[in-house]
Amino acid sequence: MKAARIVLAVLIAFAACALAWRARTGLFVDPAILSLVSAEHAKLLCEMTAGRRFQGRMLLEGGNADALVEKADAICTNFSLRAAADFRRTLRRIAPLSRGLVSDETRALLLEGRFKEVANASAARLFGPAPPLFSVKDDPFLLATGYAMSLQSNLAPGWSMNGGYPSCERDGRHFLLLDCGDLSCDAAERLRAFAERANDSAQEDGLKVWCCGPVFHMARAASRAKREINLLSAASVAMVALLGWLLFRSWRFAPQLLVSVGAAFFVAAGALFAFFPRPHVLAFVFGTTLIGLAVDYVYHARAAGGAGRVARPLAQSLATSLVCFAPLLFADIAALRQMALFTMAGLVAAYLCALAWRRSRGDRPTGGDGTPCRLRRSRGDRPAGFGNILAIGSSLLVLVAMCGICRVEISFDPSAFYRPGTFLAEGEKRLLEVSRMGGGKIAFIHGKTLQESLEIEETAGLKGLSAVIPSLKRQRENAALVEKLRESEGKAYTALTGLKMPNEDKRGFLDAEHVEDETLHRIVRSFAVSGGRIMMPCPEEFRSDDPRIVVFEPRKVVKRIFDRMFHSASRLFAVSFVALALLLLLLFRGRFLHYAWPVGMAIACTAGMQGWLGIPITCFTLLCFFVMAGLGLDYVIFNHSNPVQETRRTVLYSFLSSLAGFGLLAFTEFPVTRSMGATLALGLFFAYILSKIEWRGEKRRRQKIAAYNPTPSKNSATLRLCDSALKDKTHARRQDAEWHEQEEQSAGEWRMRFMWFVYRWLGKGALKMMCVPVMAFIYPFAGGARRAVREFYEVLGIKAGAWRVFRHLLGFAWALADKTDACTLKKNLPVVSARDDDGHRAFKALVESGKGIFVISSHLGTIEVLNALGNHEQAAGGRVPFVHAFQQMGHDAVFMRMFMRHFDDSEICLHAVEDIGVETAVEMQAAIGRGELVLMAGDRVSAGSAKTLECDFLGRPCRWPKGVFAFARIMEAPIFFVTCVRTGWNAYEAHFRRFEGGSGAKADEILRQYAAFLEEETRTHPSEWHHFHDFFAS
Amino acid sequence: MFKRSNVLLAAALAVAVCCASNSGGRGATRPAGQDDAEMPERAEGTFVQRKTLADVEVTITSKGTFKFEKGRSFEWRTVSPMPSTFIATPTNYSFIVNGKTTTRSLKSNVDKIAKIFEIKEVKDFVKSVKSVPEKGFPDKLTVEFKNGDRLDIEMKR
């Protein structure tokens, strides 16, 4: 523990230093999915998304173009968007630089030498009603005017400017585009909400507003993610807290859990930032698996009463989890390496925290009413029937699940990662339809300068930035062509129009790298990326051999990203599995398959179920298999290392906590987290179920090993006797059969389990009420018991009708309920008082003085509730000695098996009468020497015992077990006779009588006094007689 | 080649003519001095257009014919010195020069001449529009542009 604390302190200090060091330059987390890809692809995609035209736009749709412009103006004003372009101002700015600006059509005609045609067209424009856009002094042929008019169609075919906004008309509907590239996420979300509301409400002229572009999707995703994270985190924390409380029935686990999780995350974050200056957000998201594993460590440590008691399985769990994630450290994708480092560092911290925590006292898993659940049961003692059903059911489930593997689909489709909401999807679809830009291909032109890129674009025939601002080279060519036009047609044109040709064209050229007009600058920015390169949409059929032109489809690139991640993760998963198998082989040697197969099968079943449910396996769901292996091995290790009910309960609650934490992800709106949540939920479920199944060989091996138990008890031997009794019992229903030969009445395994279920969840009162109809059912079939009761009453001289007999039998059933409660869960202990007489006072004095006592009980009343008297005494400050009780185990084996399964052996140790030997006497003498009680029933002859004593009882000669009284004699301890009779619905009274005789008294004398005491008690409380055989047969 | 501005202004002019002749209906012709209801169903005639280019102090004169059908079409045919034809319908307009046709959709519904110049494509370039008479079919139209250019049109039915 000390070493663990030191190491943990060192790790926390290291993490603090690392975080402080990084904090100097800021602690940044990379949220971009593109960072998961190779440098080349990341660069291209980042540059593409940084381009203005791909950021965000709004598409307005309506029947009236003017109304759209008004609406657009209002939106720009209300949301502070960029105002409509001022075309006149742009023309004024480029007028002095329009020397080389010629439309493509005019250039083509000039290149062909069709100067006449160009001149005529210019004249027709001049003679028309429209004014020239540029001064005719420098541009008599109105070529720059023609260029300005062609700008609109060059930018996007079919689009024109309307009020400064790109607009078009399709199928009688007008469309208008607004640029929203400067929006923050919050502003984009507000704009989207406004647009949705506008569409939902009835608008005049059918006006619709759509949002398109990455900024809206990012904003929407961020908003939803924020909401879901808050909701799911709260739900997850509440579930973990609730489950922890249900397990421990107190909040004392909470501080340790909080510290463990906090320390784990702190150390993990420190390790991550120490090695990665800007880790990816996915590493932290994936690191939430830490919560599940930290919860497991804390639960198991507390359940065992201290981590030291489960140090070995904890260490095994840590080792296997580390081996699971270790191969990811060698992934070629940085995010996977980060995930591995984060998880592994956090796991080590959580483990050390569990070890370093001070041992908890009394904080162990509880029963349903909060009482400590110190129950012991070895796995081999589970009823054979239940084990078979579990095995068959599990096998069928596994078989069905694995059949789904044939339907498994592996997907690299980006839509598996993100799917837009209906509104945004409709907006993107609408924009595609209107803009008629199919294909989705992007061309990147890698020129050394912007001018070079423009020239490459012009040569390739692409319509991008060069369609708006030609390269300087082209502009010079155009200027030369215009000069030729003037030389060829100048005179005729002047004669026709009266416009003189300029002597010298003083205009300059428009340089795309140095535009001053805001509108043109915006246009240039939408095409240009860093370093002089430009990008643009390109037609589907475009092909180029120029190495400086890179054409790619973003969708395909993203798909390749996921493909690469998937293959990398699957390779690493195979390595991880092999490493894990080797580790298990090292740890468990020949039994490693018992640990490996549940996890392997769970993974296969999960994959199969994904096939059935149509959940494709992607790179993200594949990462879930790492988590599944880690947690699944936890369940197997703990279930197999310590198969007691405490541990199984702890494993169950660990599983439920993890299920709550991961399973909630299945309810998010994001496809990727939804599929991960479903995968993890299925995987954890199968891992847990399969971890509970044991092979027969393992079961036999465990039966040879004593269960983990700080307080020795005879329960294992007791249960073995029950087993053999069940196997060897002859089904005798004869009344005259010996008591131990009689079969239990209506004590079927499932009936017992049902009764236990009623008791456990509804209480003793409900159980007793249930006894009434059960007894009514049993009564007609309990002929032997009825006859025995009648004979008893006959001996007493009391007439016993059916009703008295029925009440007698019912009283016995209630006594069994009281006995069960007193010795197991203690949900409703009866009020036990002691008759205030010499016997009780003597008994109490001896107990208080720390002396051991030999107690001879009987089957009159319910001696088992006597410990309730002890609880009352303890509550009053008295001493409660430990009790060694002897019982014949083989008789009522079915009841005893159920009884022993839940028996609380903290105050009583049951010994089988069948096991009494020399060593038993020595052991009991030692117990008496310690001040403990030894209790035996003196009114039943052991099965198969021929040693009996005879003594009259109720006027009849009866046989009594010699061994009990002989045993009492050799104990050399005070001997008391005790009965505990029912005095009310939930009340008993204990009667004590001391044997009057010295230590050298004979067995006969002890018996005689005992029989007298018993007779006296029997006559007083005949309904408490619990012998249902012919007691008086000689 | 004779793309938007030319075509649009011609359309604006056509609509102005129509609305000057018909204060309520689309493209109807009306007698001068009367409201839109008095616009004739059909009208055709000749025009003389004088365009004054302010920066070079040159006036360019062109002549042609126009043909009007109320609510259906308006044709503005420049005959000299350089032939070209502009045709407008309630949903689109076309400009033909050198055998080359450019068509564009343009939907407008104006009642008065002034509203013609509220069409977004031409509004920014137009300073003022005056028609004589103000109501009914105009005999004379004067359009002043912001760059100082001026357009004077005389129409005869």
What is the CATH classification number for the domain harbouring A310? 1.20.1640.10
In a domain, A57, yes or no: yes
Mention every residue, 6+ apart, whose C-beta is less than 8 A from residue A171.
none
Does A941 lie in the same domain as A837? yes
Amino acid identity, residue A29? V
Q: Which residue has the higher pLDDT, A226 or A383?
A: A226
Q: pLDDT tens across A555-574, in order?
A: 777 777 777 777 877 888 88
Please check whether residue B6 touches A, CB under 8 A: yes
Q: pLDDT tens across A600-616, in order?
A: 888 889 999 998 988 88
Domain span at residue A980? 715-1024
Cα–Cα distance measured from residue A793 to residue B109, given in angstroms and rounded to the nearest whole number: 115
In a domain, A535, yes or no: no
In a domain, A705, yes or no: no
DSSP A941: P
Does A297 lie in the same domain as A389? yes
| pLDDT level of residue A129 (50, 70, 90 thresholds) | confident
B25: Cα separation from own chain's centroid: 16
Q: Are A391 and A693 in contact (CB under 8 A)?
A: yes
Q: Are A879 and A933 in contact (CB under 8 A)?
A: no
Please check whether residue A184 touches B, CB under 8 A: no
Cα–Cα distance measured from residue A649 to residue A651, given in angstroms and rounded to the nearest whole number: 5
In a domain, A239, yes or no: no
* Residue A467 pLDDT > 50: yes
Closest Cβ–Cβ partner in A121, A152, A496 for B98: A121
Closest Cβ–Cβ partner in B1, B2, B5 for A133: B5
Closest Cβ–Cβ partner in A124, A149, A169 for B5: A149
For range A150-158, the mean pLDDT: 61
Decide if A498 and B60 are in contact by the 8 Å CB cutoff. yes
Decide if A498 and B58 are in contact by the 8 Å CB cutoff. yes
Q: pLDDT tens across A791-822, in order?
A: 999 999 998 899 999 999 999 999 999 988 88
A512: Cα separation from own chain's centroid: 56
Gap from B111 CA to chain A (nearest CA, Å): 15
| Candidates B1, B4, B86, B124, partner chain A, best to mutate (most A CBs within 10 A) | B1
Closest Cβ–Cβ partner in A66, A127, A149 for B60: A127
Nearest CA in chain B to A498: B58
Please check whether residue A797 touches B, CB under 8 A: no
Q: What Å distances lie between residue A665 and A15, A635, A832, A925, B36, CA to CA?
A: 29, 21, 53, 62, 69
Domain-ending residue, one of A502, A520, A538: A520
Amino acid identity, residue A477? E
In a domain, A225, yes or no: no
Residue B35: what pLDDT? 43
Does A614 lie in the same domain as A501? no
In a domain, A763, yes or no: yes
Q: Are A286 and A338 in contact (CB under 8 A)?
A: no
Please check whether residue A66 touches B, CB under 8 A: yes
Does A382 lie in the same domain as A435? no
Decide if A103 and B1 are in contact by the 8 Å CB cutoff. yes
Residue A968: what pLDDT? 87
Alpha helices in A851-892 (DSSP H): 866-875
Nearest CA in chain A to B6: A130
Decide if A130 and B97 are in contact by the 8 Å CB cutoff. no
Mention every residue, 6+ apart, whose C-beta is less than 8 A from residue A119.
A141, A485, A489, A492, A493
> Half-sphere exposure of A455 toward its Cβ, with a 13 Å CA cutoff?
13
Residue keyed to tokens 């030692």: A926
Cα–Cα distance measured from residue A146 to residue A128, given in angstroms and rounded to the nearest whole number: 14
Cα–Cα distance measured from residue A96 to residue A506, given in angstroms and rounded to the nearest whole number: 8
Decide if B120 and A163 are in contact by the 8 Å CB cutoff. yes
Q: Which residue has the higher pLDDT, A400 or A285?
A: A400
Q: Pick from A754, A759, A723, A889: which is nearest to A383 by CA?
A: A723
Q: Are B117 and B11 in contact (CB under 8 A)?
A: no
Closest Cβ–Cβ partner in A120, A130, A163 for B6: A130
Gap from A133 CA to chain B (nearest CA, Å): 9
Please check whether residue A110 touches B, CB under 8 A: no
Among the residue ranges A31-45, A980-994, B61-75, the one predicted with the least confidence is A31-45
Nearest CA in chain B to A67: B120
The first and second tokens of residue B28, run together, are 């109807």
Decide if B82 and A124 are in contact by the 8 Å CB cutoff. yes
Residue B23: what pLDDT? 32
Decide if B149 and A161 are in contact by the 8 Å CB cutoff. no
Residue keyed to tokens 């078989």: A399
ipTM of the complex: 0.77
Three-class DSSP category at A910: strand
Specify the length of chain A in residues.
Answer: 1034
DSSP A861: B
Decide if A124 and B2 are in contact by the 8 Å CB cutoff. yes
Q: Are A344 and A290 in contact (CB under 8 A)?
A: no
| Candidates B5, B55, B74, B92, partner chain A, best to mutate (most A CBs within 10 A) | B5
Domain-ending residue, one of A697, A731, A766: A697
Q: Total structural domains in chain A? A: 3
* Residue A488 pLDDT > 50: yes
Decide if A127 and B84 are in contact by the 8 Å CB cutoff. yes
Please check whether residue B23 touches A, CB under 8 A: no
| pLDDT level of residue A83 (50, 70, 90 thresholds) | low
In a domain, A842, yes or no: yes
Q: How many C-beta neighbours within 10 Å does residue A134 have? A: 24
Gap from A511 CA to chain B (nearest CA, Å): 25
Please check whether residue A124 touches B, CB under 8 A: yes
Q: pLDDT tens across A414-435, in order?
A: 666 667 778 888 888 888 777 6
For range A1016-1022, the mean pLDDT: 94
- Spell out which residues of chain B touch residue A163, defining contact as CB-CB under 8 Å: 120
- Spell out which residues of chain A touch residue B86, defining contact as CB-CB under 8 Å: 128
Q: How many C-beta neighbours within 10 Å does residue A992 have? A: 23
Decide if A137 and B49 are in contact by the 8 Å CB cutoff. no
Three-class DSSP category at B104: strand
In a domain, A21, yes or no: no
* Residue A904 pLDDT > 60: yes
Does A291 lie in the same domain as A161? no
CATH number of B4-156: 2.50.20
* Residue A141 pLDDT > 90: yes
| pLDDT level of residue B130 (50, 70, 90 thresholds) | confident
Highest-confidence segment of A356-365, A385-394, A572-581:
A572-581
Q: pLDDT tens across A690-711, in order?
A: 887 765 555 555 555 544 333 4
Does A190 lie in the same domain as A128? yes
- Spell out which residues of chain A touch residue B153, defining contact as CB-CB under 8 Å: 129
* Residue A730 pLDDT > 60: no
Cα–Cα distance measured from residue A260 to residue A297, given in angstroms and rounded to the nearest whole number: 9
Does A193 lie in the same domain as A77? yes
Q: pLDDT tens across A635-687, in order?
A: 888 877 765 666 778 888 888 888 887 887 788 777 777 888 889 899 999 98
Q: Pick from A525, A167, A124: which is nearest to B100 by CA?
A: A124
